[in-house]
Amino acid sequence: MLLIFASIMVLGCQPLPQDNSTETDAEQAFINSGRAKAIESETDLWQFYENSKVGFSLRYPHEITPGKDLRIESELVSSLGEQPLGFTTENAEKIRSALATGKFGENDLDWPLEESKQVKNLGELNGQDFLVLGRFEVCDVVFERKLVFYQNDYQIVLTFIAPREKIVAENPEFFTTNPENCGAIPIWNFEKQKDFYVALREGNGSESAQAWFDTFDKIAATIEFQTSESETKVLDNLEALQGFWTSLDDAESTIEFSGERKTDFYSGEKISTEYFKIYGDSLVVNAGAETIRYTIVAVSAEYLTLLHLPRGNLLKYKR
């Protein structure tokens, strides 16, 4: 097991002493302090990425450029709406439910190679793992490996992009030409896309393609999950809301938050009981077929202020 010492980082490119058989007093003090980090694998030395808002982190090699070679995208499932390539709120909810049971799901995102679709276990949850080798038209050749998973109501999409020209040059047997539509550029022999994937899966791909394929698995293996900032806020707001509140505008009107149930009373009589959810500062109440939305403007030990959406009127309460 290797040890990294801060003193080495300080020395930088300065020549090291010829006789390094014994540690200096500073090095020994660093070791004894417990601040030395144990390096167990190459990934421990990789670059570190963390999204505290969503609640996950990962590592990636130094030669990879985020945003270019590796794209990391996250968006609230409820905010997806109707985006292209199947990235819709409806599809995300169905895929999330399928992954929770260990299934890939029937709703495709992007243009996945059918044979490559698999469930990747990430420890605490599952993700969709698949290849995209082309989109829309016959001339398109791409090498993208994707991982889609769901954390704290967010959809996270990891896309690892391989160097196109190098892989095409190394694998001429998988490509052909279509002079009429694509000129002289190599395009996929679509009947051999499955063979290309199988070779990678079995570890028999070309040098560049196999390195790309295997590095993606190593990156995915570094993913760790934490309590997100938004989840912490949800927990804080949920706890703060609990109890009875009396309207400052009408003393006969009271509400109770108990667990994830909201009950309305008037003159001491129960009017309704509904389930609710909190998303950051948003309070969403499911009232039968109707969904009622509020913004939690402020909540304290004594007072609660809600903004009713979309009307925009403030509702003020005292505990």
CB 272 within 8 Å of CB 256: no
Class of domain 42-225: alpha beta
Radius of gyration (Cα) for the chain, nearest Å? 27
pLDDT at 309: 85
> Could you give the CA distance from residue 136 to residue 111 in angstroms, rounded to a whole number?
9
Residue 28: what pLDDT?
58
Q: Residue 274: which of 283, 258, 262 has the closest Cα?
A: 262
**How many angstroms separate the CA atoms of 253 and 266, rounded?**
5
Closest by CA to 233, choosing from 282, 301, 192, 199, is 282
DSSP 3-state assignment of 302? coil
Distances (CA, A) of 194 to 73, 109, 110, 174, 190: 27, 19, 17, 10, 8
User: Residue 26: how many CB atoms within 10 A of its CB?
Assistant: 12
DSSP state letter for 66:
B
| Residue of 60, 77, 66, 52 lying closest to 156 (CA atoms) | 77
Which pLDDT value is given to residue 193?
Answer: 97
Token duo for residue 49: 């990425």
**pLDDT value for 229:** 61
Q: What is the b/e burial string over 66-90, where b = at least 16 CB atoms within 10 angstroms of the residue's CB?
A: eeebbebebbbbeebeeeeebbbbe
> Chain centroid to CA 300: how far?
32
Strand spans (E) along 79-235: 118-121, 126-132, 144-151, 154-161, 175-178, 183-188, 224-225
Domain 229-318: CATH superfamily, name plus number: Calycin beta-barrel core domain (2.40.128.20)
Beta bridge partners of 254: 246, 265
Instruction: Name residue 141's amino acid.
Output: V
For the stretch 160-214, pLDDT in tens is: 999 999 999 999 999 999 999 999 999 999 999 999 999 999 999 999 999 999 9
pLDDT, tens only, 120-141: 999 989 999 999 999 999 999 9
Looking at the chain, the domain(s) classified CATH 2.40.128.20 span 229-318
Domain(s) of CATH 3.40.1000: residues in the chain: 42-225
What is the pairing mode between strands 70-76 and 118-121? Answer: unpaired
Instruction: Write down the pLDDT at residue 42.
Output: 81
In 3D, which of 223, 237, 230, 238 has the Cα closest to residue 76?
230
Q: Both tokens of residue 7?
A: 């003193």
Per-residue tens of pLDDT for the chain, all 319 residues: 333 333 333 333 334 344 444 445 655 554 454 444 455 678 888 999 999 888 899 999 999 999 999 999 999 998 898 999 999 999 999 999 999 999 999 989 999 999 999 999 999 899 999 999 999 999 999 999 999 999 988 999 999 999 999 999 999 999 999 999 999 999 999 999 999 999 999 999 999 999 999 999 999 999 999 866 655 666 688 888 999 999 999 999 999 999 999 999 999 999 999 999 988 788 989 877 788 889 888 888 889 999 998 877 889 999 9
β-sheet bridge partners, residue 315: 306
Q: Measured on CA atoms in the order 199, 203, 206, 209, is the torsion positive or negative? A: positive
Q: What pLDDT is attached to residue 100?
A: 92
